[in-house]
Amino acid sequence: MDKRLLDILCDPVSRTSLKLMSKLQIEALNRAIRAQQVQTTAGKTIAEELGAGLITTDGKVMYRIDDGIPVLLADEAIGTTQLHDFPV
């Protein structure tokens, strides 16, 4: 992702800055998705694994990136508190 774009992106709800998720974070999230343990903030169970994502700098909320495009919709956000032992 272009660094200039990443510098201006923020969480649409809290306005917290975002950063790219690490490989370790993506792997932990995808393990939980395979176990059907992940829901969006709107309560929808996530079935498709993520290839890339953004996370707030405080490590509380994640957003997926689809085909290089960040999906920054409040209803599509993923809270990290639902994940056990998530690496922040």
Convert the pLDDT of each residue in 34-79 to its tens digit.
Answer: 999 999 999 999 999 999 999 999 999 999 999 999 999 999 999 9
What is the Cα–Cα distance from 66 to 20, expressed in whole angstroms?
13
**How would you classify residue 68: left for phi > 0, otherwise alpha for psi between -120 and 50, otherwise beta?**
left
- Dist CA 51 CA 33 (whole Å): 12
Q: Could you report the per-residue pLDDT of 19-37, keeping only the tens digit for each?
A: 999 999 999 999 999 999 9
